[in-house]
Amino acid sequence: ETGVTQSPTHLIKTRGQQVTLRCSSQSGHNTVSWYQQALGQGPQFIFQYYREEENGRGNFPPRFSGLQFPNYSSELNVNALELDDSALYLCASNDEPGQPYEQYFGPGTRLTVT
């Protein structure tokens, strides 16, 4: 059991709205990464947080933002939702950002934008 949890499981939003997705990392893991997985595709890296600071970012616009808290929880915020934001959002945690060990993934939040 990985210990990474995400909430909510499913979410339906309307175009233009804002959404917050939550992740609780495995205890002791101070690095969290977020990925977007569109239907039928592989996950794409959004950004990574390490000790509450952004530590790397993929090719996503600024309306995708994040927060990481000292209690191993984190948030992904998406503003001005677009239809193409409909996807499975996965968070993953691990010990240190520089170590390419296996990341432990949560079950994901499926976001539908209508």
Partner 1 sequence: AQKVTQAQTEISVVEKEDVTLDCVYETRDTTYYLFWYKQPPSGELVFLIRRNSFDEQNEISGRYSWNFQKSTSSFNFTITASQVVDSAVYFCALSGNNAGNMLTFGGGTRLMVKP
Residues in contact with partner 1 by the rule CB under 8 A: 2, 31, 33, 35, 40-45, 48, 55-56, 58, 88, 90, 92, 94, 97-108, 110
By beta-carbon proximity to partner 1, the closer residue of 19 and 103 is 103
- DSSP assignments along 45-69, one per residue: EEEEEETTEEEEE-S--TTEEEEE-
| Smallest separation (angstroms) from partner 1 to the CB of 20 | 19
42 and 90 in contact (C-beta within 8 Å)? no
By beta-carbon proximity to partner 1, the closer residue of 18 and 41 is 41
Angstrom distance (rounded) from CA 21 to CA 34: 10
49 and 55 in contact (C-beta within 8 Å)? yes
Under DSSP, the state recorded for 1 is -
| Smallest separation (angstroms) from partner 1 to the CB of 60 | 12
Tokens of 8: 């909510």
| Smallest separation (angstroms) from partner 1 to the CB of 19 | 18
| Smallest separation (angstroms) from partner 1 to the CB of 39 | 11
By beta-carbon proximity to partner 1, the closer residue of 14 and 101 is 101
